[in-house]
Amino acid sequence: MTLERLHMLIDGDWTEAASGSVFTSLNPANGQAWAELPDAGEADVDRAVRAAQTAFDRPEWRNLPAGARGKMLRRLGDLVEQNRERLAVLETRDNGKLIRETRGQLGYLPEFFHYAAGLADKVEGSTLPIDKTDMFAFTRPEPLGVVAAIIPWNSPLYLTAIKLAPALAAGNAIVIKPSEHASASILELARLAGEAGFPAGIVNVVTGLGPTAGAALTRHPLVRRIAFTGGPETARHVVRASAENFAQLSLELGGKSANIVFDDAELESAVNGVVAGIFAASGQSCVAGARLLVEDGIYDRFVAALTERMARIRIGDPIDPESDMGPMATEAQLGVVERMVAEAKAEGATVLAGAQRPAGHDAGWYYEPTLLSCPSADLSVVRNEVFGPVAAILRFKGEAQAVAMANDSAYALAAGIWTRDIARGHRMARDVRAGIVWVNTYRAVSAMAPIGGFGLSGYGREGGIESVLDYTALKTVWINL
Ligand code: NAD
């Protein structure tokens, strides 16, 4: 098979790495290499960051009215809409996410650009009521300069859009470092940004490996803000690198989110919500509802309904719209899942479903949807993120125990509550420690709704009305009258 040759985007040019070195991207559905990309080194990253700084400093960009940036963002949203199918296929081939899921994400992605477009000319400072009659003082939110966006492989377009749109609305320039496992759709998004009118150098993409290209970007002295999404271990490197230049940070990290089913839950919706919560993207989702806490009175019925529903999940090629679950994005991730399931069994977990590679799918990196009954919350599979299609199920009795168990985690990204008692839904939403709480739903998403976590899930929020302000810094101006 001939490999597609992709290039990275620096200062409006589609370019190679200075060293000429490349890496390959594999198709998770069959394990075959399908594309070759530039393996950016320190010199390439430096070139991209300097190009972004130069583009940021140009009067054509600095003095562009905010409304004009808004128009470009609106066009970009429209272009994403028009190219939805092509972008979906590109992303599915690169990271193995179901075509149904990439199409679904691309359905709401234009909203992220349109929403930020509307905010671009509403970034306001204030006049300060100072106690001096001969002075006038006011604040101006100003763009920061060069923003670095570091993206993981599980939802490249969505996780880029949620950074790119507000960063551009605020008037910054950006250098994006996609995951080495999924760069293709982001390169295409950057091409569309050029088509939408963003000048050369305002949107750059460096392709390459985390420890080289990613590390060079996070420690570059001209980078003023790093928007990072990825794992906590990588985040520690990023935080250390940011300390060199005190770059501002937002960290969207992993999770071990609790999906809590009460006795009075509507069984069918709860089962569907739990299945979507953990098995979407083959469990490779930061908000995966991987800890199922189920109340004593409904436990047996719930397990029966859930395992029956899981048996109907069709595993298959992610490009096939009939498939319900695709492969792991990388072979290494499949190895992690197998290791963690083996460890859970050794620690006393009982397999209620799955826990093996499916028959007849030897070429790709597939794993069956898996349900593990866990005798205690101390099992490593209850404590640690698997990032695969593995749900750990535990019993509880009553609200107080549900809250205690839900909050017994170093992560705190998302939570689901399933109950017909809406007052209880409110109480749980208040008491469960998580950045997002869904009551009788899971995975609802909108450009208007901030996402982010606490603890090992990171800090900072993305999305929502304040997201543009996060890409600005306030300047205070005093004028002697
Ligand atoms: P990862 O941490 O391995 O990689 C993320 C990005 O960081 C990649 O682009 C990688 O190349 C880069 N990177 C690696 N080492 C680096 C370094 N030393 N310096 C700078 N950059 C470096 O994560 P992943 O395996 O791609 O994604 C899975 C993780 O992402 C999971 O933990 C998941 O929960 C998390 N995630 C979080 C969210 C969220 O919104 N909270 C969303 C999706 C994924």
Q: Which atom of ligand 1 is nearest to the CA of 151?
A: 9
Q: Which atom of ligand 1 is nearest to the CA of 218?
A: 20
- What is the identity of the amino acid at 432? V
Sort 343 into a burial class: Cβ within 10 Å, 0-12 / 13-18 / 19+: middle
**Ligand 1 centre from 189 Cα, in Å?**
19
* Ligand 1 neighbour 242 (Cβ under 6 A): no
ipTM attached to this prediction: 0.94
**Ligand 1 centre from 285 Cα, in Å?**
11
Mean pLDDT of the chain: 97
* Ligand 1 neighbour 240 (Cβ under 6 A): no
Cβ-proximal residues to 212 (8 Å cutoff; 6+ apart), any chain: 39, 40, 41, 42
Write the residue with the smallest CA distance to atom 39 of ligand 1. Answer: 252
**Ligand 1 centre from 55 Cα, in Å?**
28
Write the residue with the smallest CA distance to atom 8 of ligand 1. Answer: 179
Tens of pLDDT, residues 107-119: 999 999 999 999 9
Ligand 1 mutation pick, 234, 285, 287, 337, max ligand atoms within 8 A of CB: 234
Tens of pLDDT, residues 403-419: 999 999 999 999 999 99
* Ligand 1 neighbour 317 (Cβ under 6 A): no
* Ligand 1 neighbour 455 (Cβ under 6 A): no
Q: What is the pTM of this model?
A: 0.96
Active site includes 331? no
Q: Which atom of ligand 1 is nearest to the CA of 451?
A: 40
Ligand 1 mutation pick, 39, 150, 250, max ligand atoms within 8 A of CB: 150
**Ligand 1 centre from 250 Cα, in Å?**
13
What is the reported pLDDT for 255?
97
Distance CA 394, CA 382 (A): 9
* Ligand 1 neighbour 211 (Cβ under 6 A): yes
What is the reported pLDDT for 31?
86
Distance CA 148, CA 181 (A): 18
Instruction: Tell me the CA distances in angstroms from 317 to 85, 110, 220, 416, one per residue in order.
Output: 17, 26, 40, 29
Q: Which atom of ligand 1 is nearest to the CA of 208?
A: 11
**Ligand 1 centre from 195 Cα, in Å?**
28
Pairing label, strands 370-373, 390-396: parallel
Q: Within 13 Å, how many C-alpha atoms sit on residue 436's CB side?
A: 31
**Ligand 1 centre from 230 Cα, in Å?**
2
Write the residue with the smallest CA distance to atom 15 of ligand 1. Answer: 210
Q: Which atom of ligand 1 is nearest to the CA of 286?
A: 34
What is the reported pLDDT for 91?
95
Q: Identify any residues that bridge with 455 across adjacent strands, giving them in sequence order.
A: 411
What is the reported pLDDT for 437?
98
* Ligand 1 neighbour 253 (Cβ under 6 A): yes
In this structure, is the dihedral angle defined by the CA atoms of residues 169, 175, 181 and 185, taken in order, positive or negative?
Answer: positive
**How would you write the pLDDT of the chain (481 residues) with one tens digit per residue?**
689 999 999 999 999 999 999 999 998 888 899 999 999 999 999 999 999 999 999 999 999 999 999 999 999 999 999 999 999 999 999 998 999 999 999 999 999 999 999 999 999 999 999 999 999 999 999 999 999 999 999 999 999 999 999 999 999 999 999 999 999 999 999 999 999 999 999 999 999 999 999 999 999 999 999 999 999 999 999 999 999 999 999 999 999 999 999 999 999 999 999 999 999 999 999 999 999 999 999 999 999 999 999 999 999 999 999 999 999 989 999 999 999 999 999 999 999 999 999 999 888 899 999 999 999 999 999 999 999 999 999 999 999 999 999 999 999 999 999 999 999 999 999 999 999 999 999 999 999 999 999 999 999 999 999 999 999 999 999 999 9
Distance CA 121, CA 381 (A): 47
Write the residue with the smallest CA distance to atom 16 of ligand 1. Answer: 210
**Ligand 1 centre from 152 Cα, in Å?**
4
Distance CA 323, CA 313 (A): 8
Q: Which atom of ligand 1 is nearest to the CA of 237?
A: 18
What is the reported pLDDT for 2?
82
User: Which of 121, 171, 167 has its CA nearest to residue 142?
Assistant: 171
Ligand 1 mutation pick, 286, 384, 387, 456, max ligand atoms within 8 A of CB: 286
Please answer whether residues 367 and 328 qualify as being in contact, where contact means their C-beta atoms are separated by less than 8 angstroms: yes
Q: Which among 180, 252, 368, 462 is annotated as catalytic? A: 252
Instruction: Tell me the CA distances in angstroms from 257 to 67, 244, 412, 414, 438, one per residue in order.
Output: 39, 33, 7, 5, 11
224: phi then psi, degrees, rounded to nearest 5? -95, -25
Write the residue with the smallest CA distance to atom 14 of ligand 1. Answer: 210
Write the residue with the smallest CA distance to atom 41 of ligand 1. Answer: 252
What is the reported pLDDT for 1?
65
Quote the tokens at residue 364.
């790709």
Write the residue with the smallest CA distance to atom 23 of ligand 1. Answer: 230
